[in-house]
């Protein structure tokens, strides 16, 4: 045999070997080739129409199978039918429709709801399609290929396109993805839409939250007031205290942007549109290590959807403001979401506005001059607020998402005053403006099955600016406080095992705060600006046992502050253990710090309405605030009963007396100290059918310790010793009803020992105070009611309307009290601030 013949022999042998190896290794072959091989091996003939089988390609059956087993194998893969005409002649029938595209519906296996905007990829050519809002999808290809389904929140699913060859488009069911570390100790906490997780985090889903007493919409900051441990004793959500701390000791983030301003109407309405939020995470202790600041509480607000959602829109109105919301797709994998809200209080007055006005502008420049009998004073005001937000969401391939967010918040008050004296009219104009602007970008990528990388960059700008023109003279007082906060961070989450995750990363933060005070007569000008930069490394190890018996998190945060050349080490800890199926025990601990706070220089600053200004720590006169906290809790959940008990001890060091809102002998004193809180929080809740009823009790012992003051220890301004909250909530035939109450002991107050001025300094009258916070104001009680009704106006549209009543019994309570010297009469005056009167509000909302 010559070389040429040998070459041919080797090539033929090689091709034959490759063909055999392909069959052995399961490499897909054309069905026609497989049928030819079966014909030769089993000595049979197949009758078929080429067009009906040529597009099939599959792994060949094992050569060890019988003829019948091989035909059954092919039938299962292709849904073809084999009919024996004779023992040696087999007809192949394809009853599948070939004149329609390959189509199907993606359905949630548990709820049977359609799965919208899932990605279905043809793994043979890497092309992909997306399911619509009804879960429907189509492929233009007509062959056999493998399809992979990817959707956030669902397990990956692979199936053959052969199942789509049917008379009707089949339903493909997909299982929800159960992420580890997502167990709950309470799936309904206070109301549906609020859950308590075994990782110690409370999660709020505003779009699912049931109606809460006194609210017309799921206002996130008002909702927090219902939770044990959260309280605003003066009804001002911009003064929310978490476990006895001040409001500025709470960290608020909206899509990664820090919020230094959380309330419209100077404390009565949230600055955030409640119809946008997808998730709110709330932490009182055991905070994950990636979050710094906020030594009292942490509130993380996200409007990020996990997938490109279907278009939607809504418009609403209540007796204070109008708002709108719209989400629309700009491509298959991108959408834009915009929202806006504006009050109409500058050109229309409602009963709700009148109640808010009477509450907020007590004892301020707006009302101080309205009751003079000697001189005719007139005061009018224009007030309005607005907020807006915009979001761009781009899905890049299957497991990478880009979010870009913008937010703007504003409150504007113009005060027009005049007086007539000696037949001469004097006009003065003053104003107050609060503004927040923020932007962020977040890129999240699951770069392999065990690692998810997140990069965030955010900037937040806050300013408060006022001009006060005095009616008594020609003095003009200008004040301004601005904050610029920028932050970048990178985080990676690694799934070490099915039960454990390690999260680690780096964060850079720069804060700049400026304060300006200018007076024209006498000429005074003060301008300060401070900047602090910090670098932080952090890591969290999370573990959830296979049966969910243990859920733990151990975190470490190491921060370096450039300007102070200072390292701060902060461990964090959370441990939840299921003693028995119905009982969990929880231990939490943390160390945290923050380098900024709000102080009050004078009670009349910023027109006396918003007296606080942000300042940065200088590590001396204004120390770094540090928190140490430990808590032990129990949860019992069985047969729709829920009982939770949390006991905690907290020490916060480095506080300034100027940040505590003193209006007694400490008002103008600048000393530093700490406070200690020992507290308990109890919740008892029962659900039956469509009813939920709960009551909570909070005990708190909260004491200051100022070493340079005598006495050094006395009750904290935010000590509310006993608090009871309760509610009953139901939904009957699309009517939602909720009735709730709150009662708490009066806040600490400093009394006086002499109704006449005392002269500790000759010629200078002052108020004669007893020891700080030696007494308490009267107990507070309020009963609130809300109702709402929903009407479906179309397949997807609905109309919601309802009303709420705050302070149903119209209780008139003193929520703050202080004393001052009247330098005209040379008398001591008592100044009281009263609670919100009975307030009616109604709303109408249309969802498209």
Asked if the model's pLDDT at residue 14 lies above 50, the reply is: no
CA distance 753 to 739: 42
pLDDT tens, residue by residue, 675-715: 999 999 999 999 998 899 999 999 999 999 999 999 999 99
| pLDDT computed for residue 795 by the predictor | 76
**Measured CA angle at 744 (ends 743, 746), to 5 deg:** 135
Q: Is the model more confident about 472 or about 241?
A: 241
With cut-offs at 50, 70 and 90, classify the pLDDT of residue 216.
Answer: confident
| pLDDT computed for residue 701 by the predictor | 98
CA distance 839 to 189: 27
Mean pLDDT lowest among 101-105, 488-492, 829-833 = 101-105
CA distance 132 to 149: 14
803-817 mean pLDDT: 95
| pLDDT computed for residue 99 by the predictor | 57
Mean pLDDT lowest among 73-87, 94-108, 204-218, 795-809 = 94-108
Hunting for tokens 């729709």 — which residue is that? 640
Please give the CATH topology (third level) of the domain spanning 102-174. Immunoglobulin-like (2.60.40)
Asked if the model's pLDDT at residue 129 lies above 90, the reply is: no
Q: Which two tokens stand for residue 712?
A: 């050094």
| pLDDT computed for residue 210 by the predictor | 82
Asked if the model's pLDDT at residue 518 lies above 70, the reply is: yes
Using CA atoms, how far residue 779 sits from 86, 118, 136, 776, 814, in Å, is 96, 55, 59, 8, 9
Hunting for tokens 């009906």 — which residue is that? 52
426-442 mean pLDDT: 94
With cut-offs at 50, 70 and 90, classify the pLDDT of residue 528.
Answer: very high
Strand 89-93 to strand 45-47: parallel, antiparallel, or no bridges (unpaired)? parallel
Span between the terminal Cα atoms of the chain, in Å: 83
| pLDDT computed for residue 118 by the predictor | 83
Closest by Cα among 721, 568, 567, 596 to 656: 596
With cut-offs at 50, 70 and 90, classify the pLDDT of residue 26.
Answer: low
248-268 mean pLDDT: 94
Q: Which two tokens stand for residue 32?
A: 């026609």
235: left (phi over 0), alpha (psi -120 to 50) or beta: left
Asked if the model's pLDDT at residue 132 lies above 60, the reply is: yes
| pLDDT computed for residue 8 by the predictor | 45
CB within 8 A of 179, min separation 6: which ones? none
Peptide bond into 522 cis (omega under 30): yes
Using CA atoms, how far residue 279 sits from 187, 193, 205, 208, in Å, is 15, 10, 5, 10
Closest by Cα among 381, 353, 385 to 367: 381
Mean pLDDT lowest among 31-45, 416-430, 820-834 = 416-430
Burial of 85 (0-12, 13-18, 19+ CB in 10 A): exposed
405-424 mean pLDDT: 88
Closest by Cα among 508, 339, 349 to 408: 339
Report CA 210 to chain centroid distance, whole Å.
17
Closest by Cα among 556, 548, 477, 557 to 517: 477
| pLDDT computed for residue 151 by the predictor | 80
CB within 8 A of 342, min separation 6: which ones? 321, 322, 323, 384, 385, 386
Mean pLDDT lowest among 61-75, 87-101, 132-146 = 87-101
Task: Quote the percentage of the chain above a pLDDT of 70.
Answer: 93
544-559 mean pLDDT: 92
Task: Quote the percentage of the chain above a pLDDT of 90.
Answer: 60
Q: Is the model more confident about 76 or about 468?
A: 468
Torsion, CA 264, CA 480, CA 389, CA 289, rounded to 10: -90
pLDDT tens, residue by residue, 685-695: 999 988 999 99
CA distance 48 to 89: 11
With cut-offs at 50, 70 and 90, classify the pLDDT of residue 1.
Answer: very low
| pLDDT computed for residue 723 by the predictor | 98
Q: Are 556 and 567 in contact (CB under 8 A)?
A: no
CA distance 281 to 687: 23
Asked if the model's pLDDT at residue 20 lies above 70, the reply is: no
Using CA atoms, how far residue 170 sits from 42, 115, 120, 135, 558, in Å, is 35, 14, 15, 11, 54
804-826 mean pLDDT: 91
| pLDDT computed for residue 664 by the predictor | 95
464: left (phi over 0), alpha (psi -120 to 50) or beta: beta
> Could you give the residue ranges of the DSSP H alpha helices within 226-347?
none
Asked if the model's pLDDT at residue 456 lies above 90, the reply is: yes
What letter would DSSP give residue 190? Answer: S
410-435 mean pLDDT: 87
585-600 mean pLDDT: 97
| pLDDT computed for residue 51 by the predictor | 65
Closest by Cα among 615, 495, 509, 436 to 290: 509
| pLDDT computed for residue 181 by the predictor | 43
611-615 mean pLDDT: 95
Strand 230-231 to strand 241-242: parallel, antiparallel, or no bridges (unpaired)? antiparallel
| pLDDT computed for residue 369 by the predictor | 52
26-93 shares its CATH topology with 297-847: no
b or e along 380-398 (b: 16 or more beta carbons within 10 Å of the residue's beta carbon)? ebebbbbbbbebbbbbeeb
Q: Please give the mean pLDDT across all residues of the chain.
A: 88
Mean pLDDT lowest among 475-484, 721-730, 787-796 = 787-796
Closest by Cα among 22, 161, 21, 35 to 92: 35
775-801 mean pLDDT: 92
CA distance 69 to 67: 5
Closest by Cα among 155, 160, 129, 131 to 144: 160
584-590 mean pLDDT: 97
b or e along 619-649 (b: 16 or more beta carbons within 10 Å of the residue's beta carbon)? beebbbbbbbbbbebbbbbeeeebbbbbebe
68-81 mean pLDDT: 84
pLDDT tens, residue by residue, 400-410: 999 999 999 99
Q: Are 443 and 457 in contact (CB under 8 A)?
A: no
| pLDDT computed for residue 670 by the predictor | 94
Asked if the model's pLDDT at residue 747 lies above 70, the reply is: yes
Domain 26-93 has CATH 1.20.1260.10: no
Domain 297-847 has CATH 3.40.50.720: no
pLDDT tens, residue by residue, 175-192: 876 554 457 788 889 988
| pLDDT computed for residue 673 by the predictor | 97
Kindly report the backbone phi and psi dihedral angles of residue 600, in degrees, each rounded to the nearest multiple of 5, phi listed first: -120, 120
pLDDT tens, residue by residue, 470-506: 877 888 999 999 999 999 999 999 999 888 999 999 9
Q: Is the model more confident about 370 or about 524?
A: 524
Mean pLDDT lowest among 375-379, 525-529, 720-724 = 375-379
Report CA 299 to chain centroid distance, whole Å.
6
Q: Is the model more confident about 217 or about 808?
A: 808
pLDDT tens, residue by residue, 294-315: 999 999 999 998 888 888 899 9
With cut-offs at 50, 70 and 90, classify the pLDDT of residue 96.
Answer: low
Mean pLDDT lowest among 144-153, 365-374, 525-534, 784-793 = 365-374
Mean pLDDT lowest among 331-335, 341-345, 780-784, 831-835 = 331-335
| pLDDT computed for residue 696 by the predictor | 97
**Domains in the chain: boundaries:** 26-93, 102-174, 297-847
Q: Which two tokens stand for residue 692?
A: 């939920």
């Amino acid at each position: 045999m010559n070389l040429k013949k040998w070459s041919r022999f080797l090539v033929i042998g090689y091709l034959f070997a490759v063909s055999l190896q392909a069959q052995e290794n399961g490499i897909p072959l054309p069905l026609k080739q497989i049928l030819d091989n079966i014909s030769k091996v089993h000595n049979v003939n197949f009758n078929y129409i080429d067009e009906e089988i040529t597009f099939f390609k599959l792994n060949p059956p094992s050569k060890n199978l019988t003829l019948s087993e091989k035909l059954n194998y092919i039938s299962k893969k292709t849904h073809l039918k084999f009919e024996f005409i004779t023992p040696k002649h087999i007809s192949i029938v394809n009853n599948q429709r070939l004149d329609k595209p390959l189509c199907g519906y993606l359905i949630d296996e548990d709820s049977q709801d359609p799965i919208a905007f899932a990605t279905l990829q043809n793994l043979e050519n890497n092309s992909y399609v997306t399911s619509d809002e009804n879960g429907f999808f189509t492929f233009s290809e007509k062959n056999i290929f493998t399809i992979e389904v990817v959707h956030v929140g669902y397990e990956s699913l692979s199936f053959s396109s052969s199942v789509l060859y049917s008379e009707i488009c089949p339903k493909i069911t997909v299982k929800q993805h159960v992420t580890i570390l997502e167990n709950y100790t309470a799936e309904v906490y206070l109301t549906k839409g609020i859950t308590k997780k075994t990782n110690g985090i409370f999660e709020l889903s505003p779009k699912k939250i049931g109606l809460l007493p006194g609210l017309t919409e799921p206002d996130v900051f008002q909702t927090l007031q219902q939770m044990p441990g959260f309280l605003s004793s003066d009804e001002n959500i911009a003064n929310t205290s978490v476990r006895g701390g001040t409001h500025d000791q709470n960290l608020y983030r909206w899509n990664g942007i820090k919020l230094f301003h959380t309330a419209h109407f100077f404390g009565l309405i949230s600055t955030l549109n409640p119809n946008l939020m997808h998730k709110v995470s709330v932490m009182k202790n055991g905070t994950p290590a990636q979050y710094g600041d906020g030594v009292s509480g942490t509130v993380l607000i996200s409007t990020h959807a996990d997938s490109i959602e279907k278009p939607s829109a809504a418009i609403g109105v209540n007796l204070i403001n109008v708002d709108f919301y719209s989400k629309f797709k700009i491509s298959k994998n991108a959408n834009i979401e915009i929202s806006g809200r504006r009050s109409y209080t500058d050109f229309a007055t409602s009963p709700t506005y009148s109640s808010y006005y009477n509450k907020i502008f007590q004892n301020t420049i707006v009302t101080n001059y309205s009751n003079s009998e000697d001189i005719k004073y007139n005061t009018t005001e224009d007030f309005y607020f607005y907020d807006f937000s915009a979001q761009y969401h781009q899905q890049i391939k299957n497991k990478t998402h880009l979010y870009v967010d913008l937010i703007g918040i504003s409150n504007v008050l113009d005060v027009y005053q005049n007086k007539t004296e000696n037949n001469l009219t004097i006009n003065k104009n003053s104003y107050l403006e609060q503004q927040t602007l923020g932007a962020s970008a977040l890129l999240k990528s699951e770069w392999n099955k065990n690692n998810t990388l997140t990069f965030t960059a955010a900037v937040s700008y806050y300013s408060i600016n006022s001009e006060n023109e005095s009616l008594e003279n020609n003095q003009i007082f200008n004040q301004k406080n601005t904050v610029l906060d920028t932050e970048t961070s990178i985080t990676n989450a690694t799934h070490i095992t099915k039960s454990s995750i390690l999260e680690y990363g780096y964060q850079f933060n720069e804060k700049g705060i400026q304060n300006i005070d200018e007076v024209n007569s006498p000429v005074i000008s003060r301008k300060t600006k401070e900047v602090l930069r910090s670098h932080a490394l952090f890591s969290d190890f999370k573990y959830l046992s296979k049966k969910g018996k243990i859920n733990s998190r151990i975190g470490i945060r190491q921060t370096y502050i450039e300007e102070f050349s200072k390292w701060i080490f902060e461990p964090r800890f959370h441990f939840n253990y299921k003693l028995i199926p119905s009982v969990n025990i929880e231990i939490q601990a943390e160390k945290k710090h923050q380098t900024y706070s709000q102080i009050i220089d004078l009670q009349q600053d910023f027109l006396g309405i918003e007296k606080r200004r942000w300042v940065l720590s200088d590590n001396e006169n204004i120390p770094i605030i540090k928190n140490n906290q430990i808590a032990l809790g129990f949860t019992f959940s069985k047969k729709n009963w829920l009982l939770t008990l949390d006991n905690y001890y907290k020490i916060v060091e480095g506080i300034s007396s100027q940040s505590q809102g003193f209006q007694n002998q400490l008002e103008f004193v600048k000393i530093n100290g700490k406070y200690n809180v020992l507290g308990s929080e109890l919740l008892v809740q029962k659900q039956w059918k469509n009813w939920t009823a709960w009551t909570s009790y909070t005990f708190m012992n909260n004491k200051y310790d100022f070493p340079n003051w005598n006495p050094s220890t006395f009750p904290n301004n935010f000590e509310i010793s006993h608090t009871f909250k309760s509610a009953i909530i139901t939904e009957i035939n699309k009517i939602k009803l909720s009735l709730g109450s709150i009662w708490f002991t009066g806040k600490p107050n400093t009394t006086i020992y002499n109704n006449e001025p005392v002269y500790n300094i000759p010629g200078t009258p002052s108020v004669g105070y007893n020891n700080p916070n030696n007494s308490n104001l009267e107990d507070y009680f309020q009963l609130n009611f809300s109702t709402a009704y929903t009407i479906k106006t179309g397949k997807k549209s609905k109309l919601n309307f309802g009303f709420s009543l705050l302070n149903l019994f119209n209780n008139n309570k003193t929520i703050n009290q202080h004393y001052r010297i009247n330098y005209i009469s040379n008398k001591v005056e008592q100044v009281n601030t009263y609670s919100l009167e009975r307030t009616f509000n109604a709303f109408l909302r249309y969802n498209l």
